[in-house]
């Protein structure tokens, strides 16, 4: 039983997820409407009775990232006018990769975003598989970074995989790939991906263990945006003649022609969550997010 009266407010880009969270928490949902003007400015509107309630704002900041961040901040700001407690649920947080000054003069943009979230009145923050957990330290209020790994494990338990190999396209995601592989009792490796900070060129420098032909490959990552890392990994691994190739990611961003190129590379299935709503949002995050909110009580 919840101790507080909650109200869930959903950005239009996260409406399904927000409604599911409200349903699981057995609380009210408030719909928002979005109008975009010819010059690109936007206006969000919601109406309803809000009294003595803790507000949960559910809003993902996928492409167009800048617009969605401004709109998310606006929702939080308006919510804070009506409540002293606002939980910002941002499953996919834009700019999470910009967490260090890799080259002199670069701005650590996630630190700017963190200041804005605090300034508009967010009192708590929930993110999912945040690209840089260390960057959460920029948010000077309570935060939670929850993992979707268990959801993927549950999904694949219902599939008849043939001796699957779980591959993390880089060393960063290795620990999560190991947890996922443990659920499936599968072999796991992480590729040594290196990117030139000036040119952006990506190369893989890895040795590959002997693996029997005709088995299944699961490429497991936190997000797929341009698809470059996944395509490099497939090219590196394809000589092994895997039976099926799955691309699994928490955040199915997929910009430009990434979907087309990944499918043409021989991928059987792409599976993502509804951190970003779209055709690959096959797993619902509302359960683990709702539990995280309840645990915070």
Domains of the chain and CATH, by start = 6-147+284-295 (3.40.50.2020), 149-274 (3.40.50.2020)
Q: Confidence band (pLDDT; 50, 70, 90) for 255?
A: very high
User: Above 80 in pLDDT, residue 214?
Assistant: no
Q: What confidence score (pLDDT) does residue 241 get? A: 80
Specify the higher pLDDT residue, 5 or 166: 166
CA–CA distance, 278 with 274 (Å, rounded to integer): 7
Q: What confidence score (pLDDT) does residue 202 get? A: 58
For the residues 162-172, what does the mean pLDDT come to? 89
Specify the higher pLDDT residue, 50 or 101: 101
For the residues 146-163, what does the mean pLDDT come to? 93
Q: What confidence score (pLDDT) does residue 8 get? A: 96
Task: Indicate the DSSP class of residue 88.
Answer: E
Task: Indicate the DSSP class of residue 150.
Answer: H
CA–CA distance, 233 with 229 (Å, rounded to integer): 6
- Measured CA to CA in angstroms, residue 218 lies from 54, 159, 166, 251, 261 at distances of 40, 12, 5, 16, 17
Q: What confidence score (pLDDT) does residue 224 get? A: 96
* β-bridge partners, 165: 187, 217
pTM: 0.93
Q: What confidence score (pLDDT) does residue 203 get? A: 61
CA–CA distance, 234 with 247 (Å, rounded to integer): 10
Q: What confidence score (pLDDT) does residue 229 get? A: 86
Q: What confidence score (pLDDT) does residue 244 get? A: 92
User: Above 70 in pLDDT, residue 193?
Assistant: no
Work out the percent of the chain whose per-residue pLDDT is above 70: 91
Work out the percent of the chain whose per-residue pLDDT is above 90: 73
Per residue in 17-62, pLDDT (tens digit) is: 999 999 999 999 999 999 999 999 999 998 777 776 899 999 999 9
Rounded to the nearest 10 degrees, the angle between the axes of helix 149-157 and helix 286-295 is 140
User: Above 90 in pLDDT, residue 67?
Assistant: yes
CA–CA distance, 245 with 253 (Å, rounded to integer): 19
């Amino acid at each position: 039983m919840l101790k507080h009266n909650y109200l869930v407010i959903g950005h239009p880009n996260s409406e399904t997820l927000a409604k599911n969270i409200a349903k699981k928490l057995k609380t009210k949902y408030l719909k928002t409407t979005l109008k975009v003007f010819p010059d690109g400015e936007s206006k969000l509107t919601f109406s309803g009775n809000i009294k003595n309630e803790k507000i949960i704002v559910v809003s993902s900041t996928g492409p167009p990232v800048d617009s969605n961040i401004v709109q998310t901040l606006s929702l939080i700001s308006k919510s804070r006018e009506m409540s002293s407690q606002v939980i910002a649920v941002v499953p996919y947080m834009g700019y999470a990769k910009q967490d260090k000054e890799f080259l002199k003069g670069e701005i650590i943009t996630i630190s700017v975003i963190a200041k804005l979230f605090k300034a508009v009145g967010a009192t708590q923050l929930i993110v999912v598989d945040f690209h840089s957990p260390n960057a959460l330290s920029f948010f000077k209020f309570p935060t939670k970074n929850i993992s979707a790994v268990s959801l993927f494990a549950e999904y694949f338990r219902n599939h008849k995989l043939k001796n699957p190999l779980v591959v993390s396209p880089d060393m960063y995601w290795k620990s999560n790939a190991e947890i996922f592989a443990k659920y499936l009792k599968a072999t796991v490796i992480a590729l040594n991906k290196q990117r030139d900070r000036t040119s952006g060129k990506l190369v893989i420098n890895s040795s590959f263990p002997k693996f029997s032909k005709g088995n299944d490959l699961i490429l497991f990552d936190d997000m797929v945006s341009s698809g470059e890392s996944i395509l490099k990994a497939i090219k590196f691994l394809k000589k092994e003649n895997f039976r099926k190739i799955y691309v699994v990611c928490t955040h199915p961003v997929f910009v430009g022609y990434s979907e087309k190129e990944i499918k043409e590379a021989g991928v059987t299935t792409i599976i993502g969550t509804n951190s970003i709503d779209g055709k690959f949002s096959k797993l619902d995050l509302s359960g683990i997010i709702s539990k995280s909110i309840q645990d915070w009580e």
